[in-house]
Structure 1
Amino acid sequence: MRKAYKFKLNPTPEQIRKIEWTLSMCRWLYNCMLEQRKTAYKHYGITLNYNKQATEFPSVKKECPEFKEIHSQVLQDVAKRLQKAFDAFFLRIKRGEKAGYPRFQGKNRYDSFTYPQSGFALEGKFLKLSKIGNIRRDFRG
């Protein structure tokens, strides 16, 4: 069973920087994986999917060590997000609807990241996020 919580966060300036940096890196990764899929299909006729791209994360972290500063499940969820966009695209094609190929995401369109199973905890007045820290939360609102 999934649970959803909603509360206002009161991050420190350093935590705000880390959150914005994480969003930026996730958006960059999403756009790179989208470009990789487009290029693989256009030039080589190869269809990439979540599994093929997610297996590359260890080598991505070696080539771009900044990604070691982001929880692994957050990165995996970026790949899942792209896979969902393609699944929806192909479903629209199958239904005969206007397809709308997945688009590159700008700063105003990519404004969240997810810890799907681990890397987070609710501890008293804090939301603990791996690689970001303990963020004070406000229960009003």
Structure 2
Amino acid sequence: MIKRQMIVVKTYCFKLYKAKRNRKLHKVINIAGIIYNHCIALHKRYYRLFKKSLNIYKLQKHLTKLKKIGKFSYFKEVGSQAIQDITQRIDRTYKLFFRNLKHKIRTAPPSFKKIRKYKSFTLKQAGWKLLKDNVIEINKQKYKYFKSRDIEGIVKTITIRPAILVGKYRLYPRIPCI
């Protein structure tokens, strides 16, 4: 008899202290929006030329090649796993779009987003580290946050989103508790 454990995923929300260094996070979120729009454009162009959906692995490989070109060197400011998360989200939405077409559900393909309205980026395993005294290190930059409660379990992913007020950011660590 096999016993299965139930994995509970908890999400915590913490606000970052207001600081000038938060501009760097805003810049990274804007670059993530540029990458998102670039991927949507590549998908549309590929579908128009070949009448097929673009493979996620080809897209990720293409983006890593772009980071080496001087014109797109600013893509390096966004972590590689954050870029992979962006491509995975786009791939999921295109799969949902084609599935809905197959089942004759009225739908639209993913579209471009305004860069200033791009909401967040997610760091999975690398690019961040929780330190002592309410400090988190993101892309070799330290940020202080309001720790309103203790974190239970192991933090797996962190999502950085701008708050309503400019200069404040929220951290959303996803923590599976066993």
Q: Same fold (TM over 0.5)?
A: yes
TM (norm. structure 1) is 0.86
SS at match of 1:13: coil
Query: Offset at 1:38?
Result: 0.6
Pick the structure with more strand per residue.
Answer: 2
Pick the structure with more helix per residue.
Answer: 1
Residues 32 and 44 (structure 1), Cα distance of their counterparts in 2 relative to 1, 3 Å cut: same
Paired AA for residue 24 in structure 1: N
Over 4 Å off, 4+ runs: none
- The separation in 1 between residues aligned to 2:101 and 2:126, in whole angstroms, is 35
- Greater C-alpha Rg: 2
Paired AA for residue 136 in structure 2: L
TM (norm. structure 2) is 0.70
Unaligned runs of 5+ in 2: 1-6, 150-178
Matches within 5 A, 1:1-141: 2-14=9-21, 16-63=22-69, 64-107=72-115, 109-124=117-132, 125-131=134-140, 133-140=141-148
Deviations 1:54-105 (A, max 9, x none): 0112211112111222211111111112112212212322332111211101
CA RMSD of aligned residues (A): 2.0
Percent sequence identity over matched residues? 27
- The separation in 1 between residues aligned to 2:98 and 2:27, in whole angstroms, is 32
- The separation in 2 between residues aligned to 1:25 and 1:107, in whole angstroms, is 8
- The separation in 2 between residues aligned to 1:10 and 1:50, in whole angstroms, is 36
Work out whether residues 34 and 115 of structure 2, in 8 Å CA contact, stay in contact via their aligned partners in 1.
Answer: no
